Amino acid sequence: MTGPDFSFEQAAQAQGAVRVAGVDEVGRGPLAGPVTAAAVILDPTNLPEGLNDSKKLTARKREALFDRIMATAEVSIAHASVEEIDALNILRASHLAMVRALDGLPRRPDHALIDGNLLPRGLTIPATAVIKGDALSLSIAAASIVAKITRDRIMWDLAQQFPGYGWETNAGYPSKCHKAALQDLGITPHHRRSFKPVHNILYQEKSTTP
């Protein structure tokens, strides 16, 4: 199976778009931490070699590509906080982070390629939803790498402040270590209270009352 290519970007350019941004997010599944989105406009004359869906790359390869993307492309990174996730729900918070990432680009793109099957509300430019876009579009693949590296670094920093949950390795996802720490150490300000494992612990006493 071949990796992502530039065909979605070229299709948008054929319709008159000059600057095409790929957008992806990471962090829908974790029990803790923000959801992070990136918007990337690649330079078609200087595409980093080896771009692929971040999940298909080794950590070392991701780090190297992150540096190349940051050096050669226009990049914007944005987040939706734990409070926003709990208030809005994770899908709407993810979309909010995506819109913020697009709005944060130094120059306005003409078109956006959005990973997923739904377009976020609040977009101010034409956009295309691309299912499994990080495996199909080079721009979305680049955004997936930038978002993952950025969020992993955030969770590593938070792990130093709140040791014991394993965030430096599980990035807030519900690993066995993380769920055990929730029971033993309790809930931190960075936990998503609307997510079931956290919610259940938060209201454990209430739920176990006869």
**Residue stretches of the annotated binding site:** 24-25, 115
- Tell me the sheet residues that pair with 38: 24, 77
What residues form the annotated binding site for a divalent metal cation?
24-25, 115
Distance CA 197, CA 40 (A): 34
What residues have CB less than 8 Å from 79, skipping those under 6 apart?
A: 34, 35, 36, 37, 97, 100
Q: In the numeric block, which tokens belong to residue 22? A: 């790929």
The three-point CA angle 201-207-209 to 5° equals 125
φ/ψ of residue 175, rounded to 5: -70, 165
φ/ψ of residue 13, rounded to 5: -65, -35
E strand spans, 49-204: 74-80, 111-115, 127-130
> How many CA atoms does the CB half-sphere of 19 hold within 13 Å?
14
